[in-house]
Chains A and B, each alone.
Chain A
Amino acid sequence: MSAVADPTVLAAAPGTGPGSGAGRGAARRRGWRSLFIQIAVLLVLIVALFVWLANASLSEVERATLAPAELWRMTLEHLKLTVVSAVIVLVIAVPLGIALTRGPLRRANGVILAIANIGQAAPAVGLVVLLAFAMGFGSPAAIVALVLYAILPVLRNTMVGLDGVDSRLVEAGQGMGMSASAVLFKVELPLAVPVMLSGIRTALVLLVGTATLATFINGGGLGLLITTGVNLSQTAVLVVGSLLVALLALVVDWIGKVVEFVARPKGLA
């Protein structure tokens, strides 16, 4: 922090205002450029995959499995699993994270984090299969498993983000007569947004990858391509399935980055 002692010096040089504004603008332009390059590379990879698919020598069965309409259907299914479980994760983890940083619930903090840790530490395949036995095969069981698996990063980052807000700022807000909810919504959450969003992005990428396991319990998604490829020794199907999942995860990650970039409060470095 530069300690410019004389205000009149700065006041007399209004050039410093636009100057720092330009600095802010330049940083933002650099940010957009790097995001643009990332999505361009991803698009090139996706196109390359489909070009290869169109020209590869495939057996009749493989060609039927990898028909564009079929791939599209499975991708949508996969996205649906991801998005539905992500929404549930947000609805549970964000309010829970907020509650756990407030008042008396703060003490429950350790216990809840331990439980969330178990959810993530348990092998995802095991979790999926166990839940299927409990709830019956199909996508509901898959979604529950995914939610349990992805709740930790969102919960933890919400709590870390809120705890990371300078306590003096919270006190400044209270000292000005802001109500508890005003302090939460106008000071704490805006300042915690960058950390929270990065947790959400992590959760989304985890979800895209883990949703492949839904196929084991008849939950649908791109995982079907991978299991089919393994079971029937159809290497092409296996490779296409894996690549599609990876590319999907990267695209979701990119969308997350865009949201983080846009939602980051101005005025933060």
Chain B
Amino acid sequence: MPENPNHSRTTTIHTGPDGVSRPGGVGQGEGHGASILLEEVTKQYPGQGKPAVGGLTLEIPAGSVVMFVGPSGCGKTTTLKMINRLIEPTEGRIVINGEDVTGMDGDQLRRNIGYVIQAGGLFPHMTVASNIAIVPKMLGWDKRRIAERVDELLELVSLDPAVYRDRYPKELSGGQQQRVGVARALAADPPVLLMDEPFGAVDPITRQRLQDELLSIQSELHKTIVCVTHDFDEAMKLGDWIAVFNEGAQLEQYDSPERILAHPNNEFVESFIGSGAGLKQLSLSRVKDVELRQPVVGRAGERASDVLSRLQGSGKRHAVILDGRNRPAQLLTARQLSWLSMVTDQADANLPVVGEQATLNDALDEMLVATTGHALVTGQRGVFLGMIDVESVTQAITDARTAASDSDAPVGLNSGAIPAVALAQAAKVHDDALPLGPDAASDAGGDRP
């Protein structure tokens, strides 16, 4: 039954201009996440010796994607469900955007936090539109606004409203159901989105596509997303920060994907990353992050001998010939140049070319396929930027591993001993997504048994 949205036992609800109550005064309009702070949160089930979650303190910066990974039964899902209080913590506080929500009405809290579960969790007896409309209805929106919102959201998740609005969930594929599940969670524009293994039930190709879509939705909306997964690759792809949990929600490491790959805290994290950490690093870095080499450049219409003399003077092996629009046309060696009289802009279709947005993984793949050991990098409109070769990829990986040692990770630790300074800082910075300094992370390491 829809209840008065303004009814609440606590005073921590701020009512936005649209009459929608939001927890923690989050009514900053569309596109703002809220910071979340778990403070020494413990979940102890009666009759069990060890707590499911033991004294976890975790800072989730506003607008970031935080992935919880760990083996099954490690307490990551319990932790997630304590954020919207589907599971009530036995001890500790949950603070969303600076306001303690531990005591507020749970139903009210949950109406302002998006929740996505595996396979979407759509109600089979309701159409796609009614599924999406559930939360707006409870918040008392009028019919027209709801109908407009439903169409808007279906567009957002790339489903044609005219086709899918009136369908029942069983008339959708798994991937489409999951899309509607995301749309439903976003219905009332909540600042926080919780996802519990959202893409676990779809085939790998669909999963990849859904992940890409989530990333593009996130780049538009900047929600705070907390997502549980058991797939480390998914965590790396989606996460700004990754929290690796062990049994009892013991936080083994909480850091950026790059740093976790480069400096796993311990053997547990290492084993969780699995083999090929170096290879995984390749798909984290992009070509534009690498220092490109500048070869000798020749222009179409130049005399080959001029280019050849420049090439011999430079001590480099290749000359890149650009066309009138600065696009790479040919890649010539000294030997090849010596046979020519004039360089033309006749494009060589087999040139190994990668865009600057490509991952190092893609670039390496291009080099291997072309068997050249190097590739030409192009920017917008195919303009030549420089060359990348195997050495520069290796160098980039080395650099990434050293650079990743500058940690700016958010606070995350298990013991009760949190430096008071860090907490005060956490309370202060919750709005601007600024994670805490490196001392917090090293404390986290030190406090672990």
Taking Cβ atoms with an 8 Å cutoff, the residues of A that contact B are 1-8, 10-11, 14, 16-17, 20, 168-169, 171-179, 181-182, 185-187, 190-191, 265-269
Contacts and interface: CB of A to CB of B under 8 A. Distances in A.
B163 interface: yes
B5 to A, nearest CB: 10
B3 A175 contact: no
A132 to B, nearest CB: 44
A51 B134 CA distance: 57
Contacts, number: 116
Nearest to A180: B107
Given A3-B206, A172-B115, A179 B171 contact: no
Interface of B: 1-3, 84, 86, 106-113, 115, 117-119, 121-127, 134-135, 138, 158-160, 162-164, 167-171, 173-176, 179, 184-185, 194, 202-203, 205-206, 209
Given A3-B206, A171-B117, A267-B124, 7 more contacts: A17-B163, A177-B110, A177-B138, A181-B1, A182-B138, A265-B124, A268-B170
A171 B86 contact: yes
A17 B111 contact: no
A179 B203 contact: no
B171 A20 contact: yes
Given A3-B203, A175-B117, A190 B125 contact: yes
A44 to B, nearest CB: 37
Given A177-B110, A179-B107, A187-B123, A3 B1 contact: no
Contacts of A14: 160, 162-163
Contacts of B1: 179, 181-182, 185
Nearest to A4: B173
Contacts of B117: 168, 171-172, 175
A176 B112 CA distance: 8
A190 to B, nearest CB: 5
B341 to A, nearest CB: 51
Identify which of B84, B163, B167 gathers the most chain A CB atoms within 10 Å of its CB.
Answer: B163
B159 A168 contact: no
Given A5-B175, A17-B167, A174-B110, A191 B125 contact: yes
Contact of B158 (A7, A179, A182): A7
A1 B159 CA distance: 18
Q: Which 8 A-B pairs have the closest CB atoms?
A: A177-B111, A267-B168, A172-B121, A175-B115, A177-B110, A265-B125, A4-B173, A11-B160
A5 B163 contact: no
Contact of A5 (B122, B160, B206): B206
A260 B175 CA distance: 32
Given A8-B158, A175-B86, A177-B110, A267 B175 contact: no
Contacts of B86: 171, 174-175
